[in-house]
Amino acid sequence: MEAIRFWKPFNVLTQFTDAQGRATLADFIDVAGVYAAGRLDYDSEGLLLLTDSGRLNARLTQPQFAHPRTYLVQVERVPDEAALEYLRRGVELNDGRTRPAKAELIAVPLDLPERSVPIRFRKQVPTAWLRLTLTEGKNRQVRRMTAAVGYPTLRLVREAIGPVTLDGLQPGEWQRLTERELAALWDSARQRRD
C-alpha cells in the first residue's frame, strides 16, 4: 500500500489535472496510482493525504467514521468566549448544523511559513489564530463556521489528519508515511465515532 503526506500550498488544486492550467498535485507529486483522501480548497493550505488504497480513502472520508481533522485558522478580529463556545457546540449553516468541534484561541504559530500571497491586512482590524478540530467535512466548512460566528477566515492551514501531521514538511513537500505512521493512521481510522 502506498500512502503519502503532502503540504498542499496555497492556490493548488487537489487533483492531478486542470483544463485551465492552474497548479495541481502533478506539479509536486510524481507517485503513480495515488489519489487524495479528501480535499483542500484551492485557497486553503496544509496537510493532504494521498493513497492507492480505496479502503483507507473511504475510512478517512466517509462521514460515519468522523475522522478528526485539525486546522490552524487566522480570523479577522479576536473571537470572544461566546463565539468559541458556539463553534464547540455546532454551528447552524444553510445545509444543517455542524457537529461539535474543538475550538481554542492560540498564539500566532511561529513556525508557520509565510503564504505565497499575503492575506489582506487592515491596520485597524486585529487578527487572531484558532485551532479547530472537526469530525466532518462539509464544503468550505471552516470558513462558513467562522463567518457564521462573526469572524471571517483569512488563512486556513490543515495541520493534522488524525495522528498524521505537517511536522517536518514545508509547502510543496511530500513524504511517504512510515510503517508506524500508517499503522497509527489505520488505528485512528478504524475508530467509529457515531
All CATH 3.30.70.580 domain ranges of the chain, comma separated, are: 1-65+163-194
pLDDT at 192 over 90: no
Rg (alpha carbons) of the chain, rounded to whole number: 17
CA angle 40/71/20 to nearest 5° reads 20
* pLDDT, tens digit, 9 for 90 and up, residues 110-119: 788 888 777 7
**pLDDT tier at 120 (50, 70, 90 boundaries)?**
confident
Q: Over pLDDT 70: what percentage of the chain?
A: 97
Active-site position among 18, 27, 30, 41 = 41
Q: Confirm whether 41 is a catalytic residue.
A: yes
CATH topology of domain 1-65+163-194: Alpha-Beta Plaits (3.30.70)
Residue 35 confidence (pLDDT): 93
CATH superfamily, domain 68-161, is Alpha-L RNA-binding motif (3.30.70.1560)
Residues of the chain with CATH 3.30.70.1560: 68-161
Q: What is the pTM of this model?
A: 0.92
User: Is the per-residue pLDDT at 136 higher than 90?
Assistant: no
- Pick from 4, 163, 136: nearest CA to 67: 136
CB 130 within 8 A of CB 146: yes
Average pLDDT on 129-138 reads 91
pLDDT digits (tens, 9 = 90+) for 146-177: 999 999 999 999 999 999 999 999 999 999 99
Among 188, 86, 183, which residue's Cα sits nearest to residue 135? 188
Per-residue model confidence as pLDDT tens digits over 8-43: 999 999 999 999 999 999 999 999 999 999 889 999
E strands in the chain: 3-8, 35-36, 45-51, 69-76, 92-93, 96-97, 102-106, 127-134, 153-161, 164-165, 174-176
Using the predicted structure, report yes or no on whether residue 75 has a pLDDT greater than 60. Answer: yes
* Helix axes of 54-61 and 179-190: crossing angle, nearest 10 degrees: 50
